[in-house]
């Protein structure tokens, strides 16, 4: 194994073209970490925000930087011989950019607490699309909004990366799910378990959704004051969970002025929760949708596609061929 690897690196923040393919130092595994040979890496909005100078860019300590939270690949090195994760295992998980270099690279060193065996029913590209989005949806739906059978829940941007998991998790729990999306995603959202789909291009959701016990807000006020309008449909004892960072700076004040409860949410890598999600996927209760796969060298184009909007499910970078 060489001391270098190919990676998509960022020399400075800016537009998508700041991403370039280059040689970078291969990370060294320490303590409880696992060294993973990355086969595929998911692309998330936080990656694009960080590349552009927002997101977690303020904590980038060195250049060039390697982005990417999601990964699926093969264990190359484990913490110790009897560790449950062994060399050769197919795994997936979520890294901790910018504390460590990310998954837009051939190798990734990550704490073993963030790594789980891949779903047996999926390949690497599909698996790489899951961790950050699914863990975010799980935390927002179950840990924060406490969705359960009978809960009335509104999911904004239900066809997106986090949204398409949030709809499925809530529906699987027996909730009454309403989702907003474009007309082209109506049947897709219904297939995920949404009992009602509101086309945001032709209807004002606050006029037709009815009272909701929970709102999973994946938009905020960056588009048509979606966050503020969501307060109009929230039950007095309900909760609004806003996910996108920086999308609604006045959320707390607006909710408090109406006597309503609203909170942000930040995902944490957790292999135990990811194992629960894996079981749902292998049981056929939850599925992942990959909108498009890009070669690692075309990471800039993947970021452009993400920022153009209207991605159904997730975008994924192919880092290496599937192992034989």
pLDDT at 1 over 90: no
Report the mean per-residue pLDDT for the chain: 97
Angle at CA of residue 233, ends 254 and 156, nearest 5°: 90
Average pLDDT on 2-27 reads: 97
pLDDT per residue over 45-69, tens digit each? 999 999 999 999 999 989 999 999 9
Average pLDDT on 235-255 reads: 97
Verdict on whether the full-model pTM lies above 0.75:
yes
Q: Determine the pLDDT at residue 12.
A: 97
Average pLDDT on 204-220 reads: 98
Other C-beta atoms lying within 10 Å of the C-beta of residue 107? 27
Domains of the chain with bracketed CATH: 4-130+288-318 (3.90.180.10), 133-264 (3.40.50.720)
Q: Determine the pLDDT at residue 45.
A: 96
Q: Determine the pLDDT at residue 226.
A: 98
- pLDDT > 70: what percent of the chain? 100
């Amino acid at each position: 194994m060489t001391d270098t690897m190919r990676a998509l690196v960022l020399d400075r923040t800016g537009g998508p073209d700041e991403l370039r393919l280059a040689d970078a130092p291969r990370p060294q595994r320490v303590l409880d970490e696992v060294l993973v040979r990355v086969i595929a890496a998911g692309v998330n909005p936080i990656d694009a925000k960080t590349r552009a100078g927002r997101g977690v860019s303020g904590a980038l300590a060195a250049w060039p930087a390697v982005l990417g939270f999601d990964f699926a690949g093969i264990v190359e090195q484990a913490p110790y011989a009897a560790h449950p994760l062994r060399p050769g295992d197919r795994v997936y998980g979520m890294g901790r950019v910018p504390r460590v270099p990310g998954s837009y690279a051939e190798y990734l060193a990550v704490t073993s607490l963030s790594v789980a065996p891949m779903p047996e029913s999926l390949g690497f590209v599909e698996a790489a699309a899951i961790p950050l989005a699914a863990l975010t949806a799980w935390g927002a739906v179950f840990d924060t909004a406490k969705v359960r059978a009978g809960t009335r829940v509104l999911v904004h941007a239900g066809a997106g990366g986090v949204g398409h998991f949030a709809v499925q998790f809530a529906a699987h729990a027996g909730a009454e799910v309403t989702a907003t999306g474009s007309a082209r995603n109506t049947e897709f959202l219904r297939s995920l378990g949404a009992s009602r789909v509101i086309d945001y291009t032709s209807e004002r959701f606050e006029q037709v959704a009815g009272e909701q016990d929970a709102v999973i807000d994946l938009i905020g006020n960056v588009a048509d004051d979606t966050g503020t309008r969501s307060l109009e449909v929230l039950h007095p004892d309900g909760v609004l969970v806003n996910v996108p960072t920086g999308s609604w700076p006045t959320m707390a004040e607006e909710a408090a002025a109406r006597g309503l409860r609203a909170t942000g949410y930040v995902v944490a890598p957790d292999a135990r929760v990811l194992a629960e999600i894996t079981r749902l996927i292998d049981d056929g209760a939850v599925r992942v949708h990959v909108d498009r796969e890009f070669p690692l060298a075309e990471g800039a184009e993947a970021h452009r596609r993400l920022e153009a909007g209207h991605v159904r499910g997730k975008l994924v970078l192919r880092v290496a061929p599937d192992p034989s």
